[in-house]
Amino acid sequence: MATDRMYDLAFRFRNRKLWQQLADTEVYGVLFADGEIGYCSVMGALGEHLALGVYVGQNGYASYCYTLDHAPGTLSQDDEMELIVGQDCIQCSFESKDMLAEDELAEIQEYCKKNEKKLRGKNAFPQFMKYVPGQYPWHFDSKLDEDRICQALEASLWLEKVLKKYTKEEIRLFELRRDGKIPLLVKNGSDWEIRYTALPSPERVWPTPILENEVLVARIQKMKKKGTWESGTFYFPSPVQAEEDEDSEEDEAAIDAAPYFPLMLMNVDRKTGMVLRPVMGNGRDAEELLRELAEGMLADQNAPKSILVGDDRAFALLTDFCERTGIQLRKENHLPKFLEAKTSLMHQFDRDNAWPDDDEDWDDEDDDDLPFDEGEAEELDQFFETLLKMRDEELKTMPRDLVKMIREMAEWGLVPDELVKRIKKLFH
């Protein structure tokens, strides 16, 4: 949970109202003690979402640029999912009291009692969240993130003082120009100073995993290969609960415990349009995806001469694997068989998770009237189990459409009573 130092700086930041001086596109950098740069965006100029977003490193900055380039409500379902799930930042936001979980609210109230502070009104309560690509938004559970958000808040408070003496033009703090430089706030003793730094590439650097199982690689290398696959990666829109790894480092264990959206590698035979054995798992374990791909090729005795991919993530995922197994890999923008298969899959998912209109009746004594079969009902039970394992503050981040859907299911007695009670309490 948040430290007193985090709350100290957050409340000071809230009182200074830096969002009245900066737009969220007037980005500045903070050089952290660990050597990384956090690209900071102050949100709140419109008075709605008050926050300091800190996008760490090139990939963090790339996720910020992706948000700028893709306005919500104008995107395809796939791009919308990438926008939601692809965020890479740490954030200190200010929420209303009813948006906080009970334990989170108790922690803030305890801090306020110790420091004789009274909170009232809208967007008065600080909340700290971490956004990791492919993961559900999660609470801080890493000293590194705590240190970074504190340094970003401290530097931002110093910047607010500077802007009382100098204009934004004088310190060269402009609307984001991706080919230009931005102010970089650097700690100098007990104070800060402004330097300048070039912006990194707005393109994300995807990992190129190496399949360490040499036996699998050798067996596929010897296979007779035929045909061409159209392949690509995308996030599946239903989160699953990750199991906490007790042997992981502190920050890794925290992320591993967060629910994640499975990353799917879909392969389609270009000639027949047949969808081949799917590969799906936690995108943070890319080598595991490659292992499943290799085992599937061996089990089906089917390996292609070439694989065509349309997205950079899939290309990076398959680069080393294809090179070592003798499979040609190249990028191609037009992949009609893959797009058709993916669209069909997502439409099926939408149908399986659709609910009748209010004027439609169900006979709750007849299972045939339910919009899912026995296997899909098991998936639904797993989904509810995932939600029940979440802390209150994680449940509070659920999209309102999902909350509405759960409430509708609750009316038909499909939602566990414990979850119904928590939803009513958190979203009254």
Rounded CA-CA distance 192/24 in Å is 22
Q: What is the pLDDT of residue 363?
A: 47
Q: What is the pLDDT of residue 288?
A: 93
Q: Range with the lowest mean pLDDT among 116-120, 194-198, 263-267, 291-295?
A: 116-120
Domain topology for 214-351: Nucleotidyltransferase; domain 5 (3.30.420)
Q: What is the pLDDT of residue 369?
A: 46
Whether 249 shows a pLDDT value over 60: the answer reads no
pTM of the model: 0.78
The four Cα atoms 365, 370, 372, 374 give a dihedral, to 10 degrees, of 0
Whether 4 shows a pLDDT value over 50: the answer reads yes
Percent of the chain with pLDDT over 90: 57
Whether 217 shows a pLDDT value over 80: the answer reads yes
Q: What is the pLDDT of residue 111?
A: 93
Q: What is the pLDDT of residue 53?
A: 97
Higher pLDDT, 230 or 395: 230
**pLDDT averaged over every residue in the chain:** 86
Give the pLDDT mean for 294-299: 95
Whether 281 shows a pLDDT value over 60: the answer reads yes
List the domain boundaries for the chain.
4-198, 214-351, 367-426
Whether 330 shows a pLDDT value over 50: the answer reads yes
Q: What is the pLDDT of residue 358?
A: 46
Using CB atoms within 10 Å of the CB of residue 208, give its burial: 0 to 12 exposed, 13 to 18 middle, 19+ buried: middle
Rounded CA-CA distance 260/238 in Å is 8
Q: Which amino acid is at 359?
A: D
Residue of 80, 62, 63 lying closest to 71 (CA atoms) = 80
Confidence of residue 371 (pLDDT cuts 50, 70, 90): very low
Q: Range with the lowest mean pLDDT among 41-50, 145-154, 243-252, 302-311?
A: 243-252
Whether 366 shows a pLDDT value over 60: the answer reads no
Tell me the range of 91-100, 142-151, 235-244, 253-262 where mean pLDDT is highest: 142-151
Whether 246 shows a pLDDT value over 80: the answer reads no
Give the pLDDT mean for 364-384: 56
Confidence of residue 393 (pLDDT cuts 50, 70, 90): low
Q: What is the pLDDT of residue 212?
A: 95
Give the pLDDT mean for 394-416: 72
Q: Range with the lowest mean pLDDT among 27-41, 63-77, 98-112?
A: 63-77
